[in-house]
Every structure is written in C-alpha cells, then in structure tokens.
A and B are shown apart, each in its own frame.
Chain A
C-alpha cells in the first residue's frame, strides 16, 4: 500500500470518526441547537489534529515516500476523486436549497446543516474514490 493510499485511509477514517462524534453530540443535526457551532468548531479542530498526527506518524514510517512529489498517476487519481466529490457536493447544495425552501420550518440553520452534511458526504466520497482508484491500479 502506497504512502498516498495510506494517507487517504487516514483521512477517510478521521472524517467518519469526527462526523460520528459530531452527530453523537448534536443528535438532531437539522434542528436549531445552541451547541451546534461549538460542536462544529471542536469537530474541525479534532479532524485537523487527527490528520496532522497520523500524517506525522506515516511520514516517520515512510520518510522517502513522504518527500517524493506526487507523480502523474497520483495526480490523476486525485483529480478523478475530486471531480466525483464535486458532483456530490453540487448535488447536495441544490438539494439543501430545495429542502430548505420547501420545508415548513426551513431556516438558515437548517440550510447550514444540510450544506455541512453535503460537505461531509463529498469528503467521504473523495477519499473513498481515491482508495478505490489506488486499489484498481495496484
């Protein structure tokens, strides 16, 4: 398994873990909640910390790979995965707007929560697609 694939795994696990933590602390994601913003900031910080620590561990274990710039296949995989994630995020954004406008209790907070969900799903799709493409080319 290459260094970049391991990095994608780390990011995927981190995003799933942090999202699960967020949903655990803010169970009704779409309803108004005074702790939503605090939980969001804490989740974001937790994600960054997990990513940085895991990246440092990976870099320590694979010092040569970590310093090697991305080659053309790795860049292609990243672009393909990002394109898929973009489709998901754009579809999620349109769906969020539609749901908020047509929902009886639609609010700015609900729109924000919907966009956050779309962003997280897009992130999961991004890293999952990278792993799938890396496996396909392995």
Chain B
C-alpha cells in the first residue's frame, strides 16, 4: 500500500514575503482564507490550478512550494 504525502512551504514563503497574511494570499489566488489555511496545514490538497497560482504569487516553481513523497510498497 502506497501512502502519498504532500507537504508545503506556504507558511515560510508567506513569512519571507513581508509576512503576507492568509487573507492577502487568498485574495491573490481567488480562494477563501479558510481554504488557504486548510492548504497550509495540509488538510486539503489544492488543484493544480490553485497550486500554480500560489507558486506564481511567490515567484517560485510548484515543486519549490509543494513536496510530494510516497512511502511504503506499491
């Protein structure tokens, strides 16, 4: 059984971008603040579109914002 895990660096990136608030990031990517919080805390994995928009806001590549890892056997 393969266990998929997607971590992210949104909290750190927000801090590096003049301590951008979740509300500001939410407004830039067109989702609610609650959704940004769910993504940041790993409770929700965003669609590719939202992932690209987040990366675009921080001027990074998607794989610099999100870490994909697999554990266990297939």
Using a CB–CB distance below 8 Å, which chain A residues touch chain B?
Answer: 2, 4-5, 65, 68, 71-74, 134, 136-138
Contact = CB atoms under 8 A, between A and B. Distances in A.
Contacts of A65: 32
B19 to A, nearest CB: 21
Given A136-B43, A137-B43, A74 B38 contact: no
A71 B38 contact: no
Nearest to A71: B31
Interface residues of B, number: 13
Interface in B14-56: 30-35, 37-38, 43-44, 46-47, 50
A137 B38 contact: yes
A74 B37 contact: no
Contact of B31 (A5, A73, A134, A138): A73
Nearest to A5: B34
Nearest to B37: A138
A2 B31 CA distance: 12
Given A73-B44, A137-B44, A68 B35 contact: no
B50 A74 contact: no
Contacts of B47: 72
